[in-house]
A and B are shown apart, each in its own frame.
Chain A
Amino acid sequence: MSRQQPHAVPAATLNTQALKLQKLKHNEAYHYINSALDDDSKGEYNKALDKYRLGIQALKDALKIRYVTDAEFRESEILGPKMRQNLQAVESRVEELSQRMNRPGTT
């Protein structure tokens, strides 16, 4: 008798067009925001702002995708809430940096 494979997390097997699109936009958002955070931490705020904005666009695109079946919607929601939270945090950061950059005489 063969032993049962333990499966902690059921493998994500759905690979619909909508989920691929989410994947594509997640990748883009991650790439831009991660790089923006590097620039931000080095004080390179202009570079960071440009990248944050590209990341915001990618997150918005990802969050606009419509899912047809319950199964793909459930799958998409593994990332959905995290993306919404990160979108909010990045938007706040952009606002903060924009204000800082527009202020003349900042030391």
Chain B
Amino acid sequence: NQSALTTPQDEVDTLMHQVADEHGLELNEELRETPDTLLTKSKETEAKEQDDLSERLRALRG
């Protein structure tokens, strides 16, 4: 009876493959505990934040 086994195994597999080492389990656990409301920044904003860090790091070395 296959229908008895309809667990969200695909989802678990996907999560397991995202980070392929032992640390990956912890990361996925951390992600599961993070509400989506904390993950609303746009990629554009994130890219700008990384650029800001680059700029500040460059300034330190100059």
Interface size on B, residues (CB 8 A): 34
A-side interface size class: 20 to 34
Given contacts A20-B39, A68-B14, are A26 and B50 in contact (CB under 8 A)?
Answer: yes
Main secondary structure of the interface of B (DSSP, over half): helix
Main secondary structure of the interface of A (DSSP, over half): helix
Q: Which residue of B lies closest to A85 (CB)?
A: B54
A75-107 at interface with B (beta carbon < 8 Å): 75, 78-79, 82-83, 85-86, 89-90, 92-93
Contact status A83-B56, CB under 8 Å: no
Contact status A66-B20, CB under 8 Å: yes
User: Binary interface profile of B, 30-54, with partner A (CB < 8 Å = 1, else 0)?
Assistant: 1100101011011110110111111
A positions within 8 Å CB-CB of B: 9, 11-12, 17-18, 20-21, 23-27, 30, 33-34, 37, 40-41, 61, 64-66, 68, 75, 78-79, 82-83, 85-86, 89-90, 92-93
B positions within 8 Å CB-CB of A: 14-15, 17-21, 23-24, 27-28, 30-31, 34, 36, 38-39, 41-44, 46-47, 49-54, 56-58, 60-61
Q: Which residues of B contact A90 (CB under 8 A)?
A: 57
Q: Which residue of B lies closest to A23 (CB)?
A: B39
